[in-house]
Structure 1
């Protein structure tokens, strides 16, 4: 008996939704395993390559092309436990982005309704290292935002160490969400300066709502990629298709 007929580049392109050139490019970038070569020198693909390309499409929609390439390359050599953990980490990352956007939304609502700073407990403060860790940014980023007038910490102790009170923490959460949504420093500064005006929070509220919608869409894309990712993971330890 003969084995399955090898797939040509055009076959893989048709099955995956990519063009033949994109298939070759993604192979070169390591998204899919190197194709075997037939006696006449043409690429010979397998269904494993198609599954990997479909998984890449969903991952790219969920976490971006760079992270998608890195993840698929990692899955090909990982153990089952390591591969499952890598996919779980992607879900955790999206959940963290959603939580941070929701915290920014609550901080914005507190400013809008003038109910005081939120969502941190009254009187609670954070150091620059603590706040940077909570937001997932570098301390140098917070210093830059301070220079740009986006987040203004309190300064205490004779060494003038930065302490961030509830209002500054809320502002930092809003800035983080606006920057993650792709807005440059000038636009963020304009929004932050407008928050205490009667009509000011509207723009920030719309941005945060759209960001939450995009995160939801990315989460759905990751869920849709799940079946293909499972196939990639389970086939990683199998011998190549004949």
Structure 2
């Protein structure tokens, strides 16, 4: 196949095919004696694989993976792809943990627990409101779960918990009560910090979970194509093509 034919078969433009070849995403095309590129069905498969992989993990990671799986030993190439599945699952678990925390806070509002209504609180006020020790709040700050501000006082400085810090403390209380360990809580707090308005956080997380699901499906769709490249690369023509003399950029 020439460049136009492989582009049409893989639903790319001819220029995109040339660019992806230059980037090493697909193997270098063989050249005819007159210098024209000659592609095979293996190139069509590689282009289709890249499309799904880019949807799943992003174009930068996909380009790197498409180059490396043709060069790495089979076990390392397979592990590279398995790593993408693990990373996506990790993102999903983080989003689910954050959603669980926010749901706990929303449920807390319907209980008889003392609400936290102040714009900011001292460590003593917050410890009383949440029913935890001040030393516990200081420890949570030390391990990165809560980030109070420091304000000047006559004797030096004191902690002041803003609405954001109060929210983080409440999330931590809810998750710790649910059996989450400190590293798991830290992962959740990191996810929540990435969100904007609290009122929209659950909806944002639902959207994130749907996007992750779509990316995971794309990764599953590309699995067979990637397995062929890893397992039968040279035999199916995924290896680099050889160039003839007098090549031209066609």
Tell me the TM-score normalized by structure 1: 0.67
- Match in the other structure for 1:234: 231
The structure, 1 or 2, with the larger RCO (C-alpha pairs under 8 Å, 6+ apart) is 2
SS at match of 1:39: coil
- Match in the other structure for 2:40: 46
Tell me, yes or no, if structure 1 residue 210 matches structure 2 residue 225. no
Q: Which moved more, 1:165-174 or 1:40-49?
A: 165-174
| 1:150–1:219 Cα change, 3 Å | farther
* 1:8-19 → structure 2 map (5 Å cutoff): 8-19=2-13
Which of these residues, 66, 79, 83, is aligned with residue 77 of structure 2? 83
Unaligned runs of 5+ in 2: 114-129, 131-135, 151-161, 176-181, 242-250
| 1:177–1:10 Cα change, 3 Å | farther
**Would the aligned equivalents of 1:108 and 1:174 in 2 still touch at CA under 8 Å?**
no
| 1:206–1:171 Cα change, 3 Å | farther
- Match in the other structure for 1:139: none
**Higher gyration radius (CA):** 2
Instruction: Show CA shifts across 1:179-213 (max 9, x none).
Output: 3xxx6xxxx2xx1xxx4xxxx3xx11110101100
Which of these residues, 146, 166, 175, is aligned with residue 172 of structure 2? 166
- How far, CA to CA, are the matches of 2:103 and 2:25 in structure 1? 43
Tell me, yes or no, if structure 1 residue 35 matches structure 2 residue 35. no
- Match in the other structure for 1:23: 17
- Match in the other structure for 1:107: 101
**Would the aligned equivalents of 1:105 and 1:174 in 2 still touch at CA under 8 Å?**
no
- Match in the other structure for 1:156: none
- How far, CA to CA, are the matches of 1:213 and 1:77 in structure 2? 34
Measured after TM superposition, the shift of residue 131 of structure 1 is: 5.8
**Would the aligned equivalents of 2:105 and 2:170 in 1 still touch at CA under 8 Å?**
no
- How far, CA to CA, are the matches of 1:71 and 1:207 in structure 2? 29
| 1:233–1:83 Cα change, 3 Å | same
- Match in the other structure for 1:176: 191
- How far, CA to CA, are the matches of 2:14 and 2:39 in structure 1? 12
- How far, CA to CA, are the matches of 1:225 and 1:59 in structure 2? 6
Unaligned runs of 5+ in 1: 1-6, 118-122, 133-141, 154-162
Tell me, yes or no, if structure 1 residue 219 matches structure 2 residue 216. yes
* 1:58-69 → structure 2 map (5 Å cutoff): 58-69=52-63
CA RMSD of aligned residues (A): 3.5
- How far, CA to CA, are the matches of 1:212 and 1:112 in structure 2? 19
- Match in the other structure for 1:160: none
Q: What is the number of residues matched between the two proteins?
A: 192
**Would the aligned equivalents of 2:102 and 2:171 in 1 still touch at CA under 8 Å?**
no
* 1:118-129 → structure 2 map (5 Å cutoff): none
- How far, CA to CA, are the matches of 2:220 and 2:236 in structure 1? 27
